Amino acid sequence: MRDFSCFGDAAITLAAGGAAGGGGGGGAGAGAGSALDRSLQAATASVYRVALSSRKEFRIKVTWTRGVAGAGAPAAGGPTGLAVAIDDGSRAPAALGTPRRTTATPAPAHHVLPKKRGTRSFISEAGTAVSIYWDTAEAKYPPSGAPEPSRDYYLAVVADGELALLLGGGGDAERDLGRRFAAAPRRALLSRREQVRGPFAPPAYSTAPAAAQLVHTTRCRFRDDGAEHEVTVACRGDEWGARDGEVAVSVDGKKVVEARRVKWNFRGNRTAVLGDGAVVEVMWDVHDWWFAAGGGAQFMVKARGAADGGRLWMDEEMASKGQPPAGFFLHLQCYRR
């Protein structure tokens, strides 16, 4: 399956080092691709597009990671990590904390924030003055073990004196940032990518062995003015080598994909209209989950945008250029242990 991430995946690898207690720095190899870093239990990466009042546009990628828990620790107890990258058209996305370069050597694409709170500032090669403010010291995380905090934290990105991104928020920190910096005129979430690793427990109603079950749920908005939706993906069957089973994708509890006989339906796509009027394309590829040792299942749910012109989002012309399709898309990668 082609990876449509707007950035490379170096931040996932780097954040693993931060989660393990290492410092930030260095880049991942070009071959990182879409593979899960095996030192991670889970990772999420969200890409935002921001437009300033000067009409300058750029992208911000925020990556949260959770490492594998130590012996005797609960599954949700692994160390967490955070990485941020800015792409404003420089030769390479500017690394957080990297000073402006005067040589021809590109800056690393991503940098880890190894501390629980702090402030970092830098100037990108394109001349954007960026400051990052963050505090995750008291962050609370979902009981599922997801790496992204659910409350009591904040992450802010200020670009050329405008508040480009604020996540978490709340309390004195958010009010102070709102007083000090005017909000950027436009911001949109382009994509969200989640990587999770088993084992996955079977649903309560299932009698199949736990090892043959995958059920993962997340929440997202497919358009800025739309409702928040709950998306659940599932693979079920009797055993890993089985030539039959079921693949399902549900949105807000309603199945939009139910593919049986996985032997013939391990890849496919469907179109669905959601309750708020959003039209989404759903694609799945579970071949490696079922038929390859240590493989993974991949799901993409993409909001159809006006630029799609009614065509399937897996457009060959865009794919050949390595570009993501128009409209928000959610990419879920679920790996067996």
DSSP designation for 242: -
- Which residues, 6 or more positions from 71, have their beta carbon under 8 angstroms from its beta carbon? none
| Amino acid occupying residue 49 | R
Give the CA distances from residue 251 to residues 220, 221, 282, in Å, rounded to whole numbers and listed in that order.
10, 11, 10
What does the pLDDT read at residue 235? 83
The span from the CA of 231 to the CA of 314, in Å, is 20
Cβ count within 10 A of residue 271: 12
Residue 1's pLDDT is: 40
Do residues 41 and 69 touch, judged by C-beta distance below 8 A? yes
**Rounded Cα distance, 267 and 270, in Å:** 11
Whole-angstrom distance, CA of residue 163 vs CA of residue 182 = 6
- Of the candidates 3, 7, 8, 47, which has an alpha carbon nearest to the alpha carbon of residue 328? 47
Say whether 174 sits in a helix, a strand or coil: helix
For the chain, counts of helices (H) and of strands (E): 5, 19
What pTM, to 2 d.p., does this model score? 0.80
pLDDT tens digits, the chain, 337 residues: what are they?
A: 444 344 444 445 555 445 544 433 333 332 334 455 767 889 999 999 999 999 999 999 999 999 887 655 555 678 899 999 988 876 544 544 433 333 333 443 466 788 999 999 988 878 889 999 999 999 999 888 889 999 999 999 999 999 999 998 767 877 888 889 999 999 999 999 999 887 665 445 444 444 457 889 999 888 777 788 999 998 876 555 455 678 899 999 999 998 887 778 889 999 988 877 788 899 999 888 777 766 788 999 988 765 555 454 444 455 455 555 567 889 999 887 6
pLDDT at position 201 is: 52
Amino acid (1-letter code) at residue 23: G
Residue 237: burial class (beta carbons within 10 Å; 0-12, 13-18, 19+): buried
